[in-house]
Chains A and B, each alone.
Chain A
Amino acid sequence: MEYLGPEAWQAVALSLKVAFWATVLSLPLGIVTAYALARGRFAGRQILNGLVLVPLIMPPVVTGYLLLLTFGRQGPVGGLLYDWFGVTLAFRWTGAALAAAIMAFPLMVRAIRLAIEAVDPKLEDAAATLGASRLRVFCTVTLPLIAPGIIAGAVMAFAKAVGEFGATITFVSNIPGQTQTIPSAIYAFLQVPGGENAALTLVVISITLALGAVALSEWLARRVAHRISGK
């Protein structure tokens, strides 16, 4: 691929890195949130549900700007992170991962929540009567049964994170080799004369990644479902 310079390859590698960490780090929180929304009986459930959905509805640029205000070096959280741990998120790839994680979170939670709601609570009751505490019921009954949903949610989140643009570019800008992910690179190539070929190649790569992710998740989910049902 002669048109694909090191800049573009960097963008691909960075996108995968950002999407990977965004998915892995938000997965535990995604499972807990999905469980709380599916089975929880607490007062703030609707508020939590709304909060999770907000990034899906708000313009991504607004999310990115709010992240910058909050996690920028001058922001309330960003300032503390810098003062206490010397960590900076704004204009770094870690910030890109945070932005991608937040934007992908609603998709992840939705897939896992649907899977939890499909688990018959009667099975969980049965486990409790056999002496299993709530945590044990969750780990030994609920979790194995929702594994296909978790895989689907994770892959969906990964694909979304690879393609996140608006919030990312607003929060961490578009610095080649540091914060320039595939979408930002496509955008940058299209701004300069003669960049169309490189942009097109990246377009093909991102389509391939997206389709590959969906196919992989379908295959994994089917395998896990098969193993679980024991048919």
Chain B
Amino acid sequence: MTLSVNIKRRLGDFALDVSFDAPDGVTVLFGRSGSGKTSVVNAVAGLLRPDEGRIALHDRVLFDAGAGVDVPVHKRRLGYVFQEARLFPHMSVRDNLLYGRKASGLKGQGDLSRVAQMLGIEGLLDRRPARLSGGEAQRVAIGRALLSEPEILLMDEPLAALDAPRKAEILPYLERLRAESGCPIIYVSHNLAEVARLATHLVVLEDGKVLKDGAVSDLLSDPSMVRVFGVRDAGSVLTARVVDHADDGVTELKVSGGTLWLPTVPAEVGSHLRVRILAQEVLIAAERPVGLSALNVLPVTVLSMKRGDGPGVIVQLKAGDDTLLARVTRRSADALGLHVGGACFAVLKSVAVAPADVGGGLQSV
């Protein structure tokens, strides 16, 4: 495992007792505010000292209460992107970017020009942080962390302080980072849209404990997790391959359970995408529907049905090798005669796409 964390820490009334392993790729620590996400990341960084336990990165022990090991923050070789950019106000963007290299005794400018280009900050190098927008400052902070050549990148809700357009501006850079940097990332978030776009592995925290962890596609399509993610945001993520761009502006995608047609997706034929399908955007039909405006209908079988507190039922559907979630009312479940193992059709009202990570936690098609 890339990072293994097994720590306990009391913080007033709050007890943190967390144990998980994070593989390569993007591991998202997900949970409500107050669930202990930031404390875990701070413990990995060395900014919070656990009462007991052990933290190891690759074969390197960063903290071991039993053995008395506590590597100081500046020797842990990690990059930390905070919620606020935390740029040094008295230095230019360039000096901010190179700060970590000088501090850790690395020679030269490293990948300065490549990183600056990847993050779209080449034009800002001579500016002072006071003259950057929030989104620009956060991109510089990401670049600063990367250029110190960390063995792991920690990101604590790096988008939370930004408004929606700034978030949209930065997310593509994070996706490129996941694909290009080869550096494992621990990413704290309570935003399921970010999880769906970025995560390869998911650790769900609740009240200072790990509720569940696993591959993102497994956890997002797990009906028992709907309570945590919220009925509105629950849904599954699968991988799709771009097959063709039709003349009428519709893109044909292949998923394991069939074919999807979406309004023009700006991706090359043959490339892989992440497809997010929300549970409340899925209708269930007992027979293949005709005379319907929805383009995307997949044949599925019912894997499980889970009743919630209200009138709804979360139905887990198997579409090829993938799992979908659908949220229907109990009444329509009864009317359709849905039962585990039964065959039916999933009608997808809308589908969101994002670039897929190469070699990540999702199956390729």
Q: Which residues of A contact B (CB under 8 A)?
A: 120, 122-123, 125-134, 136-137, 140-141, 144-145, 227-231
Question: Which residues of chain A come closer than 8 Å to B88, judged between CB atoms?
Answer: 123, 126-127, 141
Question: Which residues of chain A come closer than 8 Å to B144, judged between CB atoms?
Answer: 130
B82 and A231 contact, CB distance less than 8 A: no
Pick out which of these stretches binds chain A: B17-25, B115-123, B128-136. Answer: B128-136
B86 and A122 contact, CB distance less than 8 A: yes
Known: A131-B104, A132-B74. A126 touches B86 (CB 8 A): yes
B104 and A230 contact, CB distance less than 8 A: no
* Contacting residue for B80 out of A126, A132, A133, A230, CB 8 A: A126
B90 and A125 contact, CB distance less than 8 A: no
B45 and A228 contact, CB distance less than 8 A: no
- Kindly state the separation between the CA atoms of A227 and B79 in the bound complex, as whole angstroms: 28
User: Cβ of B47 < 8 Å from any Cβ of A?
Assistant: yes
The 10 A-B pairs of least Cβ separation, nearest first, read A230-B128, A131-B104, A130-B100, A132-B103, A129-B80, A128-B73, A131-B103, A126-B86, A228-B90, A144-B90
- Kindly state the separation between the CA atoms of A228 and B129 in the bound complex, as whole angstroms: 10
- Kindly state the separation between the CA atoms of A130 and B149 in the bound complex, as whole angstroms: 9
Known: A129-B73, A129-B78, A131-B77. A122 touches B84 (CB 8 A): yes
B90 and A130 contact, CB distance less than 8 A: no
Question: Which residues of chain A come closer than 8 Å to B148, judged between CB atoms?
Answer: 130-131
Closest to A143 in B: B90
* Contacting residue for B86 out of A123, A134, A136, CB 8 A: A123
Closest to B93 in A: A230
Give the secondary structure class of A's interface. Answer: helix
24 sample A-B contacts, Cβ–Cβ < 8 Å, listed by A number: A120-B86, A122-B86, A123-B88, A125-B86, A126-B80, A126-B88, A127-B88, A129-B80, A130-B99, A130-B104, A130-B144, A131-B104, A131-B148, A132-B74, A132-B99, A132-B103, A133-B103, A134-B74, A227-B90, A228-B90, A229-B90, A230-B90, A230-B127, A230-B131
Known: A120-B86, A128-B72, A130-B79. 9 other contacts (CB 8 A): A123-B88, A127-B88, A127-B103, A133-B103, A136-B103, A228-B90, A230-B127, A230-B130, A231-B131
- Kindly state the separation between the CA atoms of A140 and B88 in the bound complex, as whole angstroms: 10
Closest to A224 in B: B90
A128 and B90 contact, CB distance less than 8 A: no
Closest to B84 in A: A122
Give the shortest distance, in Å, between A182 (CB) and chain B (any CB): 38
Q: Which B62-85 residues have C-beta < 8 A from chain A?
A: 72-80, 82, 84
Which of A126, A137, A230 has most chain B Cβ within 10 Å? A126
Q: Which residues of B contact A (CB under 8 A)?
A: 45-47, 72-80, 82, 84, 86, 88-90, 92, 99-100, 103-105, 127-131, 144-145, 148, 154
Question: Which residues of chain A come closer than 8 Å to B73, judged between CB atoms?
Answer: 125, 128-129
Closest to B106 in A: A131
B131 and A133 contact, CB distance less than 8 A: no
Question: Which residues of chain B come closer than 8 Å to A126, judged between CB atoms?
Answer: 80, 82, 86, 88
Closest to A130 in B: B100
Give the shortest distance, in Å, between B222 (CB) and chain A (any CB): 34
- Kindly state the separation between the CA atoms of A132 and B144 in the bound complex, as whole angstroms: 13
- Kindly state the separation between the CA atoms of A119 and B305 in the bound complex, as whole angstroms: 55
Closest to B80 in A: A129
* Contacting residue for B130 out of A123, A133, A231, CB 8 A: A231
Question: Which residues of chain B come closer than 8 Å to A131, judged between CB atoms?
Answer: 74-75, 77, 100, 103-105, 148
Give the shortest distance, in Å, between A123 (CB) and chain B (any CB): 6
Give the shortest distance, in Å, between A129 (CB) and chain B (any CB): 4
Closest to B89 in A: A229
Give the shortest distance, in Å, between B155 (CB) and chain A (any CB): 12
Question: Which residues of chain A come closer than 8 Å to B104, judged between CB atoms?
Answer: 130-131
- Kindly state the separation between the CA atoms of A122 and B82 in the bound complex, as whole angstroms: 9
- Kindly state the separation between the CA atoms of A230 and B84 in the bound complex, as whole angstroms: 18
Give the shortest distance, in Å, between B79 (CB) and chain A (any CB): 7
- Kindly state the separation between the CA atoms of A227 and B145 in the bound complex, as whole angstroms: 25
Question: Which residues of chain A come closer than 8 Å to B99, judged between CB atoms?
Answer: 127, 130, 132, 140
Which of A131, A136, A230 has most chain B Cβ within 10 Å? A131
Question: Which residues of chain B come closer than 8 Å to A227, judged between CB atoms?
Answer: 90
- Kindly state the separation between the CA atoms of A181 and B320 in the bound complex, as whole angstroms: 94
Question: Which residues of chain A come closer than 8 Å to B154, judged between CB atoms?
Answer: 129
Closest to A126 in B: B86
B128 and A125 contact, CB distance less than 8 A: no
- Kindly state the separation between the CA atoms of A140 and B95 in the bound complex, as whole angstroms: 11
Closest to B86 in A: A126
Question: Which residues of chain A come closer than 8 Å to B72, judged between CB atoms?
Answer: 128, 133
- Kindly state the separation between the CA atoms of A132 and B74 in the bound complex, as whole angstroms: 5
